[in-house]
């Protein structure tokens, strides 16, 4: 089969779905191809909960979170659904080197510059107000109310419905192998032999991005994958006030001490809290090396933390799950065209990496605007640029390599 569309979106996770929705809402003929099914569990959009988190070291990320929050709210009112469940976020612990979540205290500066309210707590106040015990005396906490648990399944289903109501054509079990890009647009060739011609393509393939960039352009993003594991812990009924939280501390016995937890929410596992370490023992740079089954150590260190420091929970992990996560060395996200040295680079929009579910409506809208050449929005995507150092791994054929070297 050969067909032709305005915009082809590849990837049926939340970023691809939001991109397809915004592009179709602007009137484009959009097809979304996904190697599994829209709302796939094989990528970074798996499972029930994500954080809409606004405390960042970098003000650009906090600003993007708030912009994205406004779009979430807009979708909520348009679709008559609730996607963000506000519980606030408690970051507590001690200062550390830069972690995948930034640092404990630097976001204070960001919050001050954005005129956002927050509350500072000492160890005694943390233990009095929240269900933690035996914390070191030097621990401090910051509570910020503008943070929410994202209902992942409802967000995905809403995005699928919005796509459908705006005429997006879904192709499931459709694996993209290669794209050819020239002055007339993009030719995409799929594993089943089908070919789709489009004016523009949006690659929202998360951890699978290199599988297409490499054969198509001989470039590879410098991605490191984590199979992030988490478990649900049963509430014993003695405590009601479980916050959404992150604990910062230095690594212990070689293992990360960056733990996080979600409150009980009825759309995940009623009667349980999801708790995990923001780390993975198994990291890999080829998605084919994924284990799927959670490694025991990733679950064990969390179980010990729960036993030693959290009250109101059974310390037996139940319902262990995982989601694959793609990291850049700078922990950032990527949303850009192909590198500028490629001819017709603006035909290809790439969005990959980072903890981006919270940014999904914003990133989807930006991907769509870039593909639709809607420059009037003047999105500032410099923090997300593909040209930043260390973003590209292998020597690109058509790119000035010196630009990517330190």
Binding site for ligand BEZ (CB under 6 A): 51, 53, 260, 278, 355, 358
Query: How many secondary structure helices (H) and strands (E) does the chain include?
Result: 8, 20
| Block residue for tokens 């106040």 | 125
CA dihedral 46, 51, 54, 58 (to 10 degrees): -40
Nearest distance from residue 120's CB to ligand BEZ, in Å?
Answer: 21
The neighbouring-strand residues paired with 151 are: 49
Instruction: CB nearer to ligand BEZ: give 8 or 51.
Output: 51
The neighbouring-strand residues paired with 181 are: 186
Instruction: CB nearer to ligand BEZ: give 143 or 260.
Output: 260
Nearest distance from residue 198's CB to ligand BEZ, in Å?
Answer: 32
Nearest distance from residue 355's CB to ligand BEZ, in Å?
Answer: 3
Alpha-carbon distances, residue 296 vs 308, 314, 319, 321 (angstroms): 18, 18, 13, 12
- Residue closest to ligand BEZ when measured from CB atoms: 355
Instruction: CB nearer to ligand BEZ: give 185 or 332.
Output: 332
Nearest distance from residue 193's CB to ligand BEZ, in Å?
Answer: 39
The neighbouring-strand residues paired with 51 are: 149
Best CA proximity match to 47, nearest among 170, 146, 150: 150
Instruction: CB nearer to ligand BEZ: give 244 or 371.
Output: 244
CA-to-CA distance for 109 and 90, rounded, in angstroms? 16
Give 155's DSSP letter: H
Best CA proximity match to 206, nearest among 22, 41, 389: 41
What is the token pair recorded at 235? 């509430």
Instruction: CB nearer to ligand BEZ: give 51 or 205.
Output: 51
217's enclosing H/E stretch is: helix 210-217
Instruction: CB nearer to ligand BEZ: give 179 or 334.
Output: 334
CA-to-CA distance for 279 and 302, rounded, in angstroms? 11
Collapsing DSSP states into helix, strand and coil, what is residue 1? Answer: coil
Nearest distance from residue 240's CB to ligand BEZ, in Å?
Answer: 22
CA dihedral 298, 303, 309, 315 (to 10 degrees): 160
Instruction: CB nearer to ligand BEZ: give 53 or 269.
Output: 53
Nearest distance from residue 325's CB to ligand BEZ, in Å?
Answer: 8
Instruction: CB nearer to ligand BEZ: give 47 or 122.
Output: 47
Nearest distance from residue 147's CB to ligand BEZ, in Å?
Answer: 9
Nearest distance from residue 60's CB to ligand BEZ, in Å?
Answer: 15
């Amino acid at each position: 089969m050969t067909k032709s569309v305005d915009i082809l979106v590849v990837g049926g996770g939340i970023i691809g779905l939001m991109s397809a929705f915004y592009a179709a809402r602007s009137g484009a003929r959009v097809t979304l191809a996904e190697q599994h099914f829209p709302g796939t569990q094989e990528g970074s959009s798996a499972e029930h909960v994500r954080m809409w988190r606004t405390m960042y070291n970098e003000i650009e990320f906090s600003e993007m979170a708030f912009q994205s929050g406004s779009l979430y709210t807009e979708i909520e009112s348009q679709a008559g659904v609730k996607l963000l469940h506000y519980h606030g976020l408690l970051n507590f612990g001690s200062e550390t080197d830069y972690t995948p979540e930034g640092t404990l205290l630097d976001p204070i500066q960001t919050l001050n510059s954005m005129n956002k309210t927050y509350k500072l707590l000492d160890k005694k106040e943390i233990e009095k107000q929240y269900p933690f015990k035996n914390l070191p005396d030097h621990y401090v906490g910051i509570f910020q109310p503008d943070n929410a648990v994202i209902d992942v399944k409802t967000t995905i289903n809403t995005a699928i419905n919005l796509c459908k109501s705006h005429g997006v054509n879904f192709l499931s079990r459709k694996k993209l192998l290669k794209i050819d890009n020239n002055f007339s647009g993009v030719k995409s060739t799929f594993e089943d032999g089908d070919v789709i011609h489009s004016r523009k393509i949006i690659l929202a393939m998360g951890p699978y991005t290199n599988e297409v960039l490499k054969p198509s352009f001989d470039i590879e993003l410098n991605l490191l994958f984590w199979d992030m594991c988490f478990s649900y812990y049963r509430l014993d009924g003695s405590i009601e006030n479980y916050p959404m939280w992150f604990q910062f501390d230095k690594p212990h016995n070689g293992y990360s001490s960056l733990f996080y937890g979600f409150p009980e929410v009825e759309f995940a596992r009623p009667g349980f809290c999801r708790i995990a370490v923001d780390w993975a023992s198994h990291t890999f740079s080829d998605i084919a090396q994924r284990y799927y089954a959670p490694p025991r150590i990733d679950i064990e260190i969390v179980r010990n933390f729960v036993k030693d420091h959290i009250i109101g929970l059974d310390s037996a992990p139940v319902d262990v799950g995982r989601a694959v996560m793609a990291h850049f060395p700078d922990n950032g996200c990527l949303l850009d065209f192909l590198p500028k040295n490629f001819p017709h680079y603006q035909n290809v929009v790439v969005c990959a990496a980072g903890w981006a579910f919270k940014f999904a409506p914003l990133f989807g809208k930006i991907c769509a605007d870039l593909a639709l050449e809607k420059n009037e929005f003047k999105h500032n995507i410099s923090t997300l640029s593909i040209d930043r150092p260390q973003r590209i791994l292998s020597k690109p054929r058509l790119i000035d390599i010196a630009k990517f070297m330190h």
